[in-house]
Structure 1
């Protein structure tokens, strides 16, 4: 057996430990060699070394038979491992509950980690998917400047803000705010996206708005005339 890097070798050993539920341990190793063994009474053994010619890791000696019993508490069964294993599941369903996550892990491994480990795993997976929150906040000004530049040409946005600020009566303020809302209905979609990091939240809201605009345009194509059905009903009264 040949592995391109020591990382690939260690990952393969970790997968073997978890799927076979055996207490594999590493002996004292160095940059050129790796030794792994099972319990003292078990004959399982692995020795791998770095091939200086190919710079790959080659298994030189391997005894694959176990004479030990299975273990159900494995330190290699970490939150980081679970996050990497199920990252695509979280990418497909970022609302997956811990209860459903635990059920999937139990079906796959016949083990149920503590709730705290599942929480850490989900947090790591979501961080990997959506990016580091601090990094996203640092990018926020660039993101907002780019989007505002596309939507608000010239002094349009500034003028609308000043119109709100200069409102003399509550009625004027409400009217100007409603006009702003017509152009920026962003808060309608905040609830579903508010748990995401800031840029991922904005991207999700943007996608929802684009989907809504498309669906509304398709509805308009089916209108009979130039007046929308709701307004027509009011006029007919």
Structure 2
């Protein structure tokens, strides 16, 4: 099937196998085809440019077997770098193993590979569709996966005693199935490890989900005794806003323990809705911003290694007096900064 050679009288187990072999054959030749008949029991095709090349195959009476009854194998058309049979689905299935091994396969890499193998120049849009379909083939239907979340949450509760899983759904229209809204997951080992061997600063962050249905992941992470990142809990929400952060932080506090009792300190970027959520839930808890994200905004208007070094010196001092001195140094370098 990787390089079939068709001839008159050749038989195939069924129509599906015949069509797959035909597609591979015309791509390899290449012959850009047009269907005259494309029925369940018979198929008739000819060259799109009417050069005389044609194939007719039909189902043998009383069997599922397909047989080529007529074939004119000579095509005199010149080669082009376009072919309608090289669809996004065809390319995704053909190179499925490559997509599976390299989830970040570049657009240019896919185009080059297809051109090298079958001499077809794919458009950028077709490559994007190919990558999306390859992802669907590898990961499965995302809609069906959401339907398995109830079983997944129950399995965690049964097999990982001490874990906490909350699954929220909502009904958007009357007499319809409930839809996924939010989810909170914290395994037992995460809580035990955090309370017994991790440092008090808790990092809060949000990430876009790039799947079909979008959403955000909210996470809480810390550093363990070896200075490695240790995740505590995560939540999947519809979007990153004040309501979702309040829900996640309130659930986190009810699950792990009150931040004031555990002497926690929160560090984050200026995420949407996070600052008012922290002020409402934990007004007395220390909440600071990550210098890395501050610098990402800082460098848009204030460039240069000297200003960068001065900013970090301001962030690392431990006394008010030293901080004011460092800030004065920055003003002397750039008054606007």
Match of 2:89 in 1: 80
Q: After the TM superposition, which residues 1-237 of structure 1 pair with which residues of structure 2 at under 5 Å, given as runs?
A: 1-39=10-48, 41-153=50-162, 157=164, 178-179=194-195, 195=210
**Is the 1:23–1:71 contact (alpha carbons within 8 Å) kept by the matching residues of 2?**
no
Distance 2:51 2:197 in 1: 70
Following superposition, the deviation at residue 196 of structure 1 comes to: 6.5
Distance 2:121 2:197 in 1: 47
Distance 1:98 1:139 in 2: 32
Distance 2:107 2:49 in 1: 37
Q: Bigger radius of gyration, 1 or 2?
A: 2
**Is the 1:84–1:125 contact (alpha carbons within 8 Å) kept by the matching residues of 2?**
yes
Following superposition, the deviation at residue 93 of structure 1 comes to: 1.9
SS of 1:28 mapped into structure 2: strand
Q: Deviations over 1:132-169 (max 9, x none)?
A: 1121122122112212322224xx759xxxxxxxxxxx
Distance 1:85 1:61 in 2: 28
Distance 2:196 2:94 in 1: 45
- Unmatched segments (≥5 aa) in structure 1: 159-174, 199-237
Match of 2:320 in 1: none
| TM-score, L = length of structure 1 | 0.62
As a proportion of its length, which structure holds more helix? 1
**Is the 2:32–2:84 contact (alpha carbons within 8 Å) kept by the matching residues of 1?**
no
Describe the shift of the 1:132–1:20 C-alpha distance in structure 2 as closer, same or farther (beyond 3 A).
same
Describe the shift of the 1:144–1:197 C-alpha distance in structure 2 as closer, same or farther (beyond 3 A).
farther
Q: Higher relative contact order by CA 8 Å / sep ≥ 6: 1 or 2?
A: 1
| TM-score, L = length of structure 2 | 0.45
Distance 1:181 1:98 in 2: 44
Deviating more after overlay: 38-47 vs 122-131: 38-47
**Is the 2:81–2:121 contact (alpha carbons within 8 Å) kept by the matching residues of 1?**
no
SS of 2:43 mapped into structure 1: strand
As a proportion of its length, which structure holds more strand? 2
Distance 1:197 1:144 in 2: 22
Q: Deviations over 1:166-204 (max 9, x none)?
A: xxxxxxxxx99942997xxxx9xx98xx65689xxxxxx
- Kindly report the root-mean-square deviation, in angstroms, between the aligned alpha carbons of the 2 structures: 3.4
Distance 2:197 2:28 in 1: 54
